[in-house]
Structure 1
Amino acid sequence: MAQTMLIIDDDPAVLASCQRIFTEEGFQVTTTTNPLEGLELAAAKPYTVILCDWQMPELDGLDVVARLENEAPESAVVMISGFPSVDRATEAMKRGAMDYQAKPFTPEEIASTVHKAIANKLGREKKALGRFESILKEFPTQMLDDKGPKNIAETVAHTVGVAKATSAWKSLFVLGMMAGAYIGFGGLLATTVSFDMNPSMGIGLKKLVTGSAFSLGLMLVVIAGGELFTGNNLMVSSVMSGKVTWRKVLAKWGIVYLANFAGSILLVMLFLFSGLWKTGGSALGAAAVNTAAAKVSLDFGEAIVRAIGCNWLVCLAVWMALSARQTIGKIFAIFFPIMGFVAIGFEHCIANMYFIPAGILLSDWYGIAPKGVDLNTLTWAAFVFKNLIPVTIGNVIGGVVFVGLGYWGAYLRPAGR
């Protein structure tokens, strides 16, 4: 595509000379003796280069150059003048000109100045583009940077699971305690915002509010950092991919499970000794006891099935959070599955390590006894055998079978297996 040139000069001889020179150079040349018309032409059509005289009767050349900077920013502007000076050249550059050429000039001189101006303009644009691209790299576009399901499967199997399986047990225990406490925070918040909701608002809305608040727990685990037993069930894909052994995975699961329990009990102690359970005339404490009693009254089979559904959703929340590069993406990826499992009524073993001990200790230490609750059923034995064991079994099935093995089989299973 031919380069284009606009020449603005009140001297017809200069126009004719430059038109001849640059037509021979291969430019499509447009000329005008009127600077106002020149500005209209520049605004209507992009030109590769614009030659502009300094002194013209209708409008000063410097003012023309300044307006061209806004109206034709893609053009390389060259100022020409029969009254050359260093000050004038400097002022022209400040106003937006790429170069300056004194009159009279030879064809070689003006052609060299024009080609240099075009090269400088291109160099400046490339530099600006490079800076813009550098800025964009600091703010990755969510749509372009998020991982797809296959990429997540590869990340979990080849990177995340291996890192967890080979981590030092001390680090895992500390991070496990943090995760247990974080899930406890979610449980405490969920009870606090829902315990005194008006019954007329309906059970469904109360569950929705409770689930929304509880999602805080997994957000803290994933974003702040923590090791959660239920989420770590995804490590099964690393085993199936041959990256780690079952022995290592089971050992790390055991460490994290115990650490989660320790962190949960830490939150229970914080809740009890802070006196927060006295909120609403001890209504908050009564709500905590009611929750614990309801959980230990589940049928063994029901507890397993509810736990399967729970960790299916929890592991999906972790799975989707791994796809997001930005924190806001992780928050939304976590919120909906976690809100969903709580609102539905599924069971989470780590959450129950907070809910049930809190209820037991409130009734044993502080005599909280809500009406209609048989405290004889709220015991440590009931906690372990009627809830913790079946819920843990169900959580493992939900996370290992329906998410870990499911996506490994869909994306990573070798051909022929």
Structure 2
Amino acid sequence: MSSQRMLIIDDEEIVLRSCQRVFADEGFSVVITQNPAEGLRLASESFFDVILCDWKMPGFDGMDVVAELDKRSPESVVVMISGFPSVGRATEALKRGAMDYVSKPFTPEEITAVVQKAVQRKLSEEKKAIGRFEKIIGSLQFPVPGIEDKTPKTIAETVASTIGVGKVTSPWRTVTVLGLLAGAYIGFGGLLSTSVTFDMNAVVGIGLTKFMAGAAFSLGLMLVVIAGAELFTGNNLMISSVLTKDITFIDMIKRWGVVYLANLAGSILIALILLLSGLWKTGNGALGAAAVNVAVAKVSLGFGEALVRGVGCNWLVCLAVWMALASSQTIGKIFAIFFPIMGFVAIGFEHCVANMYFIPAGIFLHHWADSPAIAAVTTDNLTWFAFLWKNLLPVTIGNIIGGGVFVGMSYWGAYLRPAKAPKPV
């Protein structure tokens, strides 16, 4: 790397100086600046093999700087730095032109490893681009190239080494707020699902009603992934980061706990909104009665049934997150999310965060909504104990198995598991 040049754009002097020392030792000729405008000018006037750019700088959005760097110096390898990591931000940085993403604080070994991996990825993409160009020339066809989605192997690497690490290093306050939002977003999906299907069954039958319930519920994960939030079931993919030893098992469990409780609070908030807004009165209380019936059905499941339904659910949910990461455009993310989420709801699988909305909503309406339609529903087993023991516990266990084992561990085994050393002859 002795002939390579690097530009570092960051408003923190300590980050600039430390990175300058690290990469000077690696053989780079390093140029630093705290001014994003100057950084863009330097990138326009001179070529840099690698550009490190901070996400948050006074007066500038680092995402826009990255996009502009991609225009002015498309041959450079751009790596995003951020002290406020999230799945949405990592995805957005990659979409804007960054080759990789690293979260503050980082060690010299971590930042050099990310840069080396980004350089290799850039070289790999260039080789693929050359191959495609030669193929086009050879066939004398000149189609307009589309935006490439990421391969499963690239997603596996991103989930394990970037997203999982970013979640562990995010500030606790950020994780809590994003967890609350995720719980609320899933609650919105649940409320919409009940609102559009509460009177459909008698008209179109069970099958189409379940399909429409799933289609409406997909709103929840779309909001989580595209708007940005921390969802416990999606975070089950962090298991791959533990397996690659990028994070520890204890750190993962701590973050799961924070996100799980925050999801619960956000979901209950939407359940209270349903109660206090009076929306349950729709159809002379039929909407409220439908919400209570959903809750009763969920707490009436056997422990084993709920657990297995939880496995199937999060297998599909984590695949939805996985495919959304593959897409480079918002419309692609929407389609990637819609079908798996519609599928798990229509099939009848169980999602622990969704049930943090559905069952408390039924309990609240049972106790405090004054409606003959709700009073007519048999609710003998609709209690907080039944919610926690008969549904939330087994469904949560099942969700961890479905997302962590069948998606996180499976793709780790397929793409990231270290090859065994050959036996000596």
Structure 2 gaps of 5+ residues are 1-69, 75-94, 98-143
User: 1:207-356 residue pairs with structure 2 within 5 A?
Assistant: 207-356=210-359
Q: How many Å apart are 1:370 and its aligned residue?
A: 4.2
Equivalent residues of 1:228, 1:256 under 8 A apart: yes
Equivalent position of 2:413 in the other structure: 409
Equivalent residues of 2:197, 2:212 under 8 A apart: yes
**379 and 321 in structure 1: CA distance in 2 versus 1, 3 angstrom threshold:** same
Q: How many Å apart are 1:144 and its aligned residue?
A: 3.9
**385 and 139 in structure 1: CA distance in 2 versus 1, 3 angstrom threshold:** closer
Equivalent position of 1:387 in the other structure: 391
Equivalent residues of 2:156, 2:411 under 8 A apart: yes
In structure 2, what residue type is equivalent to 1:233? N
Question: Distance in 1 between the 2:298 and 2:255 partners?
Answer: 27
Equivalent residues of 2:242, 2:249 under 8 A apart: yes
Equivalent residues of 2:366, 2:374 under 8 A apart: no
3-state SS, counterpart of residue 232 of structure 2: coil
**205 and 394 in structure 1: CA distance in 2 versus 1, 3 angstrom threshold:** same
Identity in percent: 67
Question: Distance in 1 between the 2:145 and 2:193 partners?
Answer: 30
Q: How many Å apart are 1:169 and its aligned residue?
A: 1.1
Q: CA RMSD in A?
A: 2.1
Equivalent residues of 1:176, 1:226 under 8 A apart: yes
In structure 1, what residue type is equivalent to 2:232? F
Equivalent position of 2:43 in the other structure: none
Question: Distance in 2 between the 1:267 and 1:359 partners?
Answer: 12
TM-score, structure 1 as length reference: 0.66
In structure 2, what residue type is equivalent to 1:225? G
Q: How many Å apart are 1:162 and its aligned residue?
A: 0.4
**367 and 375 in structure 1: CA distance in 2 versus 1, 3 angstrom threshold:** farther
**198 and 404 in structure 1: CA distance in 2 versus 1, 3 angstrom threshold:** closer
Of 369, 376, 382 in structure 2, the residue corresponding to residue 378 of structure 1 is: 382
Equivalent residues of 2:193, 2:216 under 8 A apart: yes
Equivalent residues of 1:142, 1:326 under 8 A apart: no
User: 1:17-56 residue pairs with structure 2 within 5 A?
Assistant: none
Equivalent position of 1:19 in the other structure: none
Q: Deviations over 1:148-194 (max 9, x none)?
A: 10000000001000000111111100000000000000000000000
Equivalent residues of 1:142, 1:325 under 8 A apart: no
Q: Deviations over 1:75-132 (max 9, x none)?
A: xxxxxxxxxxxxxxxxxxxxxxxxxxxxxxxxxxxxxxxxxxxxxxxxxxxxxxxxxx
Equivalent residues of 2:285, 2:374 under 8 A apart: no
In structure 2, what residue type is equivalent to 1:221? V
Equivalent residues of 1:292, 1:356 under 8 A apart: yes
Question: Distance in 2 between the 1:212 and 1:144 partners?
Answer: 27
Q: How many Å apart are 1:143 and its aligned residue?
A: 4.7
Question: Distance in 2 between the 1:404 and 1:239 partners?
Answer: 10
Question: Distance in 2 between the 1:364 and 1:371 partners?
Answer: 9
3-state SS, counterpart of residue 317 of structure 2: helix
- 2:364 equivalent to 1:361: yes
In structure 2, what residue type is equivalent to 1:147? K
Question: Distance in 2 between the 1:165 and 1:198 partners?
Answer: 44
Q: How many Å apart are 1:374 and its aligned residue?
A: 2.7
Q: How many Å apart are 1:373 and its aligned residue?
A: 3.8
Q: How many Å apart are 1:214 and its aligned residue?
A: 0.2
Equivalent residues of 1:288, 1:359 under 8 A apart: yes
In structure 1, what residue type is equivalent to 2:187? G
Question: Distance in 1 between the 2:203 and 2:290 partners?
Answer: 17
Equivalent position of 1:69 in the other structure: none
Question: Distance in 1 between the 2:280 and 2:206 partners?
Answer: 22
Q: Hey, which bits of structure 1, 4+ residues long, moved more than 2 A?
A: 137-145, 367-374
Equivalent residues of 1:176, 1:257 under 8 A apart: yes
Equivalent residues of 2:313, 2:399 under 8 A apart: yes
Equivalent position of 1:179 in the other structure: 182
**343 and 155 in structure 1: CA distance in 2 versus 1, 3 angstrom threshold:** same
In structure 2, what residue type is equivalent to 1:230? T
Question: Distance in 1 between the 2:184 and 2:223 partners?
Answer: 10
Equivalent position of 1:151 in the other structure: 154
**142 and 307 in structure 1: CA distance in 2 versus 1, 3 angstrom threshold:** farther
3-state SS, counterpart of residue 282 of structure 2: helix
In structure 1, what residue type is equivalent to 2:396? T
Question: Distance in 2 between the 1:247 and 1:201 partners?
Answer: 49
Question: Distance in 2 between the 1:374 and 1:142 partners?
Answer: 59
TM-score, structure 2 as length reference: 0.64
Question: Distance in 1 between the 2:297 and 2:378 partners?
Answer: 10
In structure 1, what residue type is equivalent to 2:226? I
In structure 1, what residue type is equivalent to 2:329? Q
